[in-house]
Amino acid sequence: MEEIKFNQIGVSFKGSGSYVPDQILTNQKISQKVDTSDEWIKSRTGISERRISNLKENVTEMGYVAALNAIKMANWDIETIDLIILATSTPNDLFGSAPSIQAKLGAENAVAFDLTAACSGFLFSLVTATQYLKGGSFKRAIVIGADQLSSFVDWNDRRSCILFGDGAGALAIEATNLFDNFIGFDMRTDGERGSFLNLPSKNNKDSIVDNIDFLSGGFSSIQMNGQEVYKFAVREVPIILEKLFRTTNFSSDKVDWLILHQANQRILDSVGDRLKISKEKILSNLEKYGNTSAATIPIMMDEAIRDNRIKQNDIIASSGFGAGLSWGAALFKWG
């Protein structure tokens, strides 16, 4: 029988990396700050501790280490990288932190830019990078998810301060004409529900000269309606994944791993139940790191790849969801 040749450009996954700060903020320590307890937090979220950046750490530093680890696993010459996308909502430079990562890596041939979509950011960035690669514009890309949410948490608000932590993760992906391991994706946004989770700017009125007023720059702390975000996630995430399975002619029983944005263990369990995916296939490190926004999916992937849970040719279903409100799903094969 004649061999069927793959004539289109596909995507291959070549490496992963991550970074989390050394500072550990446990539930017990948070209970010294606000009226809560370890049992209360764990029973409602699944979180036991989270990592907090020190005074010298930021999104650039964390993203750089994660990217470098992914490049080392891929065994790439840094000069061969064409594209760097940083998914973040907390850049240490509001004009963009990806160029700083590009410079630290010495990836002088790569174009680098930030993409902001909060907790959906990494998945949206992964989709964006794969489309550049499949379009033939670039050969090699680094996709980074990094956030420093500790800088924007109200540490006196016990409803939200228990949820968030800092960290970074990255994937190295490459164009190939031999096969395509990026099977499919779907993405959605509903700005009408955006007020459920946001980080609004501060509207501090000031004056330049007489009759010329302006609003000075700055941001408030994270604003969140936890009940509404929970209802949104447990409803919309299974729907978008089920739709993706239909359009790609896959079924949930063919999935080796489900990797969701690590927001709340109850959300992960609920989505798994709806899709009839066993708990053994649902990857979670929420207990150790909390919600690191755009970093949750790539940190989880890197841990599972390095401890050999995720193996060559494993099928992974993933979904990111959060502020915007935005959500998306991707189906891909590792390797």
Looking at the annotation, which residues are catalytic? 119, 261, 291
DSSP state of 127: H
Q: For residue 311, report the phi and psi dihedrals to the nearest 5 degrees.
A: -120, 165
Report the alpha-carbon distance of residue 264 to residue 284 in Å, rounded. 10
Go through 124-142 and write b for each residue having 16 or more CB atoms within 10 A of its CB, e for each that does not. bbbbbbbebbbeeebebbb
Q: Which two tokens stand for residue 212?
A: 């010329």
Report the alpha-carbon distance of residue 305 to residue 319 in Å, rounded. 18
Specify the residue for token string 């999104």: 59
Asked if residue 325 has a cis previous peptide bond (ω within 30° of 0), the answer is yes
Q: Which residues pair with 320 in a beta bridge?
A: 328
* Pair 145, 169: CB distance under 8 Å: yes
Give residue 120's identity as a one-letter amino acid code: S
Closest CA relative to residue 287, chosen from 21, 31, 44, 33: 44
Q: Which two tokens stand for residue 239?
A: 């729907």
Report the alpha-carbon distance of residue 222 to residue 220 in Å, rounded. 7
Q: Which residues pair with 112 in a beta bridge?
A: 84
Strands 166-176 and 182-189 turn out to be unpaired
